Amino acid sequence: MKKLNRRNFLKLAAGGSSALAAGLGFSQGALAGSIKLQEGGRDFSPTTKKALQAIPTACWQCVTRDAMMGYVEDGRLVKLEGHPDSIRTLGKLCAKGQAGVNHVYFPDRILYPMLRVGKRGEHKWKRVSWDEALDLMASKLKPLLDAGTPELFMYQYGRHKGSQSSIMHDFMDAFGSHTIGTHTSVCEGPKWVGQESLWGGMYDNWDYDHTDFVVNFGSNQFETHTNHIPTSQRLIRAMVDRNVPLYTFDVRLSNTAAKSTEWIPINVGMDGLVMLSMVNVIMNENLFRKDHLKYMRVSPDYHASDDEKIAAIKEHVAKFTPEFAEKESGVPADKIKQIARGYAKAKSACLIGYRGTVMHYHGADQERAAMLLSAITNNLDRKGGRVMGVGAGWKTPHSPKAKIQKGLDIVNGFPGEAAFPTHQVSQQNLPMIKDGQNGRPKVYWSSCNNQAFINGNNKEAEAVLKDESLIPFYVNSNIVYDESSQYADLILPDVTYLERWDTEDMVSPTGIAEFYIRQPLIKPLGESRDQGEIFAGLAKRLGIELAYTTKEEYVRQACEMTPGVREAGGFEYMKKHGVWHDKNAKPNFGFYEAKVDVSGDGVILDEKTGVYWNYKKAGVSEAEARSKGYLGVEGAKDAYVAQNIEGTPRKAYPPNTSFVKSGLLDFYSDNFAAKGFPPFPTYTPIPEHQKMGKDDLHLTTYKVAVHTHSRTAHCKWLSEIKHDNPAWINSKTAADRGIKDGDRIKVASDIGEITTTAHVTEGIIPGIIAISHHFGRQHSGIYGSGKSSPTPGGATADPDAKNMWWDKHGIHPNSIIPNSSDPISGGQRWMDTVVRVAKA
Amino acid sequence: MGINWKELANNAKSRSDIYGLMSTVFREEPSGDLIRDMRSPHLSEIFADLGVELGERFYTDLESKVMEELAIEYTRLFIGPGPHISAHESIFSEMDGDMSGLWGVKTVEVKKFIETTGLDYGKDFTGLPDHISVELEFMQKLTEWEADMWHQQYRKRAEYCLTVQGKFLDQHLFCWVDQFCDAVVHQAEIPFYRAMAELTKQYMAFERQSVATDTAA
């Protein structure tokens, strides 16, 4: 017979189809049931071979919060893996995520409410009942309510997202306190502030599924990004499947740099300058695209023509030639030109930046330079480019708010410290409490936040927490005894994220929102209790009415209230499936071009800015609106309707944050100018770096792939992989100081000194030293610190503890890094510290 | 270029239909309906075009006679008693000691593989789990499911299904189907099963190439 080819294959298929369609198949099939193929989502016991109970839930190791599956056998959580139906993660889960199991069963876990009985820091505790704990808290909080001083109750949180955040804000509103401290300024606050000044919103993602070219400044995308699993796999796929080049600028050969097409070593704090020199090349070689110009404001004139804008941009960046950038940054001018040309000529391109770029003096302005580079090449909010992230918009229940609403002014930094602290200045919360000028809370409750570890000058933070005259009553919700909880008056045993309910909403890399939930995989161990339940218990004691009684009920209500989720089946659907997205939704590319109806009652055009706004919504008369104009009326930004773009009202970029702006991308920013900052993205040398002596080095910090900043040291699988953090130092820099690989070295700054080990390598530029910031734990259980906690926790013995082969636990660099804020955003300047390094 | 969902779905459905036909042929003695359809102008033309020679008498003899002769030939070839071709993977796999033979290690592997995908063996099925017709039927169902996934535009699931197909073919069907077909060609006394075995072998060669391409893509 003939050899089968494509043509006669189809003929044969037609024959097969005909025979089968005529009901001529065998009398009875051998196989019954239906195919239920799925990539993941099922697992089997290695001993009994039985299917494990598979429960959809969500990770919480890092802010990426991947949807995932938990597997339970006989009531014990045995395994975690990616959720196969998640459009964000595509079924993947990182090492940290998989080690989440360790949170539940580590031997030093806090499982009962603990009351301090010795002095703070003396580590003497007494187990108390929940009733005693809540009664005690209520006895401290009730007088604040009665006195009309709810602001003296401060809630300090680290990782609270989704419903963990909304339920907390709901409770604080019901209590009446706005004294709520966060942690974003030690994370990436300057990035968001830079974006908000332009976009009117924040959180960039990148359309790696369609991009043709990627340039990365200071982001360890493949190891530790805030949207790690969803984005890194897509970038890798772009590189492997479509040969998309990735150029990484970094002071250190991170694993991202190592996997890049090329690692371009760059001097500390020079990312923005190199970006501006790329703008210089693109503008002067006429490689820019005009498409986005009409949405950009690059001079005081709101109505400048394209030609005027082009001239203004050229003028702004004229001095940032590649040759000038080479002198400062160490990046060869020809390399800058090459990458600038490749970036501009690519059909689409992504520009990534993260902590390496923004955690500096004027870090927010460096982010503005990144946005500029994206905009002039029409790679902003376009397919294949840098796009504003889209997350799930959950509706949540709301409790009645207290009549008195007040807050202490201690979360936005010292007076004059930061011009736009839209993400607070949390590293200064405890120093401000110590200072006392703006008041001190009487009750300080921290949750999932280790202030004495995560901030700069963390020893000072520790001292404040220890001082009862500064913080009279300190409550700490935690699963582990750590640097902060050791000073608490009351420790509340938190549930792990694997034992609680939540709605979740992290940004999707596809531009299509994914709604997902977290649900308990097992019953909470010991007497651990969810914050939501604690709020309910306190509310009952304080006479506060809440819209829920349990966290589960809160999540149930959210599922039934949220359009889309509700129609899909609400809470029961989400319990069963874990994830939901609108299959008809389209990515939000080009959202700013949407035409807007401006015929509504009260909508007028502000001639100066080109903004259509609703004066009635702003609460002023038409006469006042017209005389004062959009920028002159307080609250007018909240009445923004559209931007006049060449005669057509379009959505543009609404001012959705505290920045008062038009709908244009404010590359020329009146907000910045008014506060004395450069109104256009520029290069501002870092003051400390200008005064460096010849023996001084830069200190930078970084993250490794298998740890979060402060919440994973007790995870044994992760600490086995990484538990020490020798300091990276270039071989030439080391040789100049007589330092060899493995030598003990002293690293000293103006506020302190640490001793560590040298890791001499060519994988870092000369003139700096880099130390990861996860290690050097005082506490955090046997696996994190080598010390068991002085609390009657869960299991007294973990057989694996005997197998712990490592005795090194690293050193924490934060004790020699001062709390120093970017004056624009209030972001902690992790990367600006100057140190002296010598052989110990 | 965008994904041509319809073309991908149709392609998978075509494969499913061919697997279905082959599974039917090797499962049991041909029914009158099957013989009638295979003798129809539509199919006979396709077979002629492909060079599949079922023998002149298959088309000219009375249907009842063809049915009777094929039933006898099927029994002689695949059931016995006496020397016959045991149409089971475990018989054709070369393994030491008791590992091969009926209900061997391969039988268990095939059964587990199939059950892992959510399918079960029908309660009325009295054959062994690794019969050639079962493996072909399994491929029929996998490709049918794949077609459905393309139809619903579930790219990831469809691609995963292709991966599963590739695994099953590599670990099982491809390992023995050629030997089996050669044995049938060698031992068949009337053209029908010889032709069907040749066609099956040809098709598996085509699959080997196309599935490798699909899963690599």
Distance CA A513, CA A203 (A): 14
In this prediction, residue A100 carries a pLDDT of 97
List b or e across A74-113, with b for residues whose CB sees 16 or more CB atoms inside 10 angstroms. Answer: eeebbebbbbbbbbbbbbbbbbbbbbbbbbbbbbbbbbbb
Model confidence band, residue A37 (pLDDT cutoffs 50, 70, 90):
confident
Q: Across the interface, do A4 and B206 touch by the CB < 8 Å criterion? A: yes
In this prediction, residue A791 carries a pLDDT of 62
In this prediction, residue B103 carries a pLDDT of 80
Region A810-831: what's the mean pLDDT? 98
Model confidence band, residue A354 (pLDDT cutoffs 50, 70, 90):
very high
Of A17, A29, A32, the CB nearest to B17: A17
In this prediction, residue A793 carries a pLDDT of 47
Q: Output B216 or A574, whichever has higher pLDDT.
A: A574
Distance CA A198, CA A341 (A): 25
| Pick from A82-91, A128-137, A573-582, B81-90: least confident | B81-90
Region A321-339: what's the mean pLDDT? 98
Q: Which tokens hold the place of A590? A: 């080009």
Q: Provide, as residue numbers in chain B, all residues whose Cβ is less than 8 Å from the Cβ of A17.
A: 13-14, 17
In chain A, the domains with their CATH numbers are 53-105 (2.20.25.90), 114-186+397-555 (3.40.50.740), 204-388 (3.40.228.10), 591-674 (no CATH), 692-839 (2.40.40.20)
Q: Residue B102 above 80 pLDDT?
A: no
Taking the alpha carbons of A242, B210, B107, B145 in that order, is the dihedral positive or negative? Answer: positive
State the smallest CA–CA distance between residue A46 and chain B in angstroms. Answer: 14
Of A13, A17, A30, the CB nearest to B133: A30
Q: Which tokens hold the place of A286? A: 């006429």
In this prediction, residue A292 carries a pLDDT of 97
Model confidence band, residue A418 (pLDDT cutoffs 50, 70, 90):
very high
Q: Which tokens hold the place of A769? A: 């030293």
In this prediction, residue A353 carries a pLDDT of 95
Average pLDDT value over all residues in chain A: 94
In this prediction, residue A21 carries a pLDDT of 58
Region A309-317: what's the mean pLDDT? 98
Q: Which tokens hold the place of A592? A: 């700013």
In this prediction, residue A197 carries a pLDDT of 97
Q: Residue A18 above 70 pLDDT?
A: no
Residue of A nearest to B144 (CA): A35
Average pLDDT value over all residues in chain B: 89
Domain that holds residue B18: 5-27+87-216
Q: Could you give the number of structural domains in chain B?
A: 1
Domain membership of residue B175 (yes or no) is: yes
Q: Across the interface, do A28 and B125 touch by the CB < 8 Å criterion? A: yes
Domain membership of residue B52 (yes or no) is: no
Give the list of residues 6+ apart from residue A60 with CB closer than 8 angstroms, or none: A100, A159, A497, A518
Model confidence band, residue A470 (pLDDT cutoffs 50, 70, 90):
very high
C-alpha torsion A558→A564→A569→A572, nearest 10: -30
Q: Which of helix, strand or coil describes residue B132?
A: helix
Give the list of residues 6+ apart from residue B1 with CB closer than 8 angstroms, or none: none
- What CATH code is carried by the domain that includes residue B148? 1.10.3480.10
SS3 letters for A645-656?
A: ECCEEECCCCCC
The dihedrals phi and psi of A739, each to the nearest 5 degrees, come to -100, 135
State the smallest CA–CA distance between residue B204 and chain A in angstroms. Answer: 10
Q: Residue A788 above 90 pLDDT?
A: no
Model confidence band, residue A25 (pLDDT cutoffs 50, 70, 90):
low
In this prediction, residue B153 carries a pLDDT of 87
Of B47, B121, B145, the CB nearest to A37: B145
| Pick from A248-252, A371-375, B36-40: least confident | B36-40
In this prediction, residue A493 carries a pLDDT of 95
Please list the residues that pair with A760 across neighbouring strands: A729
Domain membership of residue B19 (yes or no) is: yes
In this prediction, residue A729 carries a pLDDT of 98
Domain membership of residue B145 (yes or no) is: yes
Report in angstroms the alpha-carbon separations of A341 from A283, A336, A338: 10, 8, 5
Model confidence band, residue A43 (pLDDT cutoffs 50, 70, 90):
confident
In this prediction, residue A482 carries a pLDDT of 95
Domain membership of residue B161 (yes or no) is: yes
In this prediction, residue A19 carries a pLDDT of 67
pLDDT tens for each residue of A608-633: 999 999 999 999 999 999 999 999 99
Region A12-24: what's the mean pLDDT? 66
The dihedrals phi and psi of B23, each to the nearest 5 degrees, come to -60, -40
Distance CA A97, CA A108 (A): 20
In this prediction, residue A28 carries a pLDDT of 63
Region A299-306: what's the mean pLDDT? 97
State the smallest CA–CA distance between residue A582 and chain B in angstroms. Answer: 14
Distance CA A256, CA A220 (A): 5
Model confidence band, residue A56 (pLDDT cutoffs 50, 70, 90):
very high
Model confidence band, residue B216 (pLDDT cutoffs 50, 70, 90):
very low
Residue of A nearest to B157 (CA): A38
With 0-12 / 13-18 / 19 or more C-beta atoms within 10 angstroms meaning exposed / middle / buried, residue A403 is exposed
Q: Residue A644 above 70 pLDDT?
A: yes
State the smallest CA–CA distance between residue A807 and chain B in angstroms. Answer: 44
Model confidence band, residue A34 (pLDDT cutoffs 50, 70, 90):
confident
Cis ω on the peptide bond leading into residue B81 (within 30° of 0)?
yes
Taking the alpha carbons of A205, A206, A209, A214 in that order, is the dihedral positive or negative? Answer: negative
Q: Output A50 or A756, whichever has higher pLDDT.
A: A756
β-bridge pairing A611-614 and A640-645: antiparallel
Domain membership of residue B168 (yes or no) is: yes
Note the ipTM here.
Answer: 0.84
Model confidence band, residue B97 (pLDDT cutoffs 50, 70, 90):
low
Domain membership of residue B66 (yes or no) is: no
Q: Provide, as residue numbers in chain A, all residues whose Cβ is less than 8 Å from the Cβ of B14.
A: 9-10, 13-14, 16-17
Distance CA B47, CA B108 (A): 36
Q: Residue B57 above 80 pLDDT?
A: yes
Distance CA A375, CA A293 (A): 8
Domain membership of residue B156 (yes or no) is: yes
In this prediction, residue A13 carries a pLDDT of 79
Q: Across the interface, do A24 and B138 touch by the CB < 8 Å criterion? A: no
Q: Across the interface, do A29 and B122 touch by the CB < 8 Å criterion? A: yes
